[in-house]
Chains A and B, each alone.
Chain A
Amino acid sequence: EAQVTQNPRYLITVTGKKLTVTCSQNMNHEYMSWYRQDPGLGLRQIYYSMNVEVTDKGDVPEGYKVSRKEKRNFPLILESPSPNQTSLYFCASSSMGQGKNIQYFGAGTRLSVL
């Protein structure tokens, strides 16, 4: 089954404790992306990647890191989480090229930073 898998689904942590949210897709997609969703703000793109070892900043990259060492994986790293990073996070992937940019989303990771 084609899917985007995020782990964990729920995470409670404390300020400053490094964490990683994993994202994996089994569709051989070139494009992967991370979003955060906050009430009243919709989804905002954090980082995206168009291929292995190629990453770019989205609209809200501050406080986040990503890596794309393998095509299927795109982990989101919070080196020193802060309470303002409490949010619902989504990973997505898609093919690239004209007419192929349909994103498939993971189920989401709800993060609370205390």
Chain B
Amino acid sequence: AQSVTQPDIHITVSEGASLELRCNYSYGATPYLFWYVQSPGQGLQLLLKYFSGDTLVQGIKGFEAEFKRSQSSFNLRKPSVHWSDAAEYFCAAVSGTYKYIFGTGTRLKVLA
């Protein structure tokens, strides 16, 4: 069955430190891949997307993600985290059937 896995439920980093959030997918063919962020009490905002081509994708707010086909991964990174990045992050995928699958989310806490 198709699936999206975010292995880390919670991650805590210090402000200014680097960040990597993991995402693994299981699909027959490479799906479209997305990262969304959800601040407390808010809806979902798209950070970045991967459809094809360059495997390093740049997004908003200084985030980037790298698609690795061999590892079925699409990890999100940020070189220097700001306190305002504290939120919940969701990885998502969609294939040709147009059924979207989301990971269970990673809640990021930023220490001052």
- Measured CB to CB, the residues of A under 8 A from B are 31, 33, 35, 40-45, 48, 50, 56, 58-59, 90, 92, 96, 98-99, 101-103, 105-108
Contact = CB atoms under 8 A, between A and B. Distances in A.
B63 interface: no
A21 B51 CA distance: 32
Given A35-B100, A48-B100, A101-B98, 17 more contacts: A31-B98, A40-B104, A42-B6, A42-B102, A42-B103, A43-B90, A43-B92, A56-B98, A59-B101, A90-B43, A99-B51, A99-B52, A101-B51, A102-B34, A102-B49, A107-B42, A107-B43
Nearest to B91: A42
B32 interface: yes
B111 interface: no
Interface in B78-106: 90, 92, 94, 98-105
B104 A41 contact: yes
Contacts of B94: 101
B46 interface: yes
A43 B102 contact: yes
Q: How large is the interface on B (under 10, 10 to 19, 20 to 34, 35 or more residues)?
A: 20 to 34
5 contacts: A35-B100, A42-B6, A42-B104, A105-B44, A108-B43
Specify which of A35, A41, A43, A96 lies most central, judged by the most chain B CB atoms within 10 Å of its CB.
Answer: A43
Given A90-B44, A105-B44, A106-B43, A42 B90 contact: yes
Nearest to A40: B104
Interface string B20-60: 00000000000010100000001111100101100000000
B102 A98 contact: no
Query: Which 7 residue pairs are nearest across A and B when measured between Cβ atoms?
Result: A42-B104, A43-B102, A42-B102, A105-B44, A105-B43, A107-B43, A42-B105
Contact of A45 (B42, B44, B100): B100
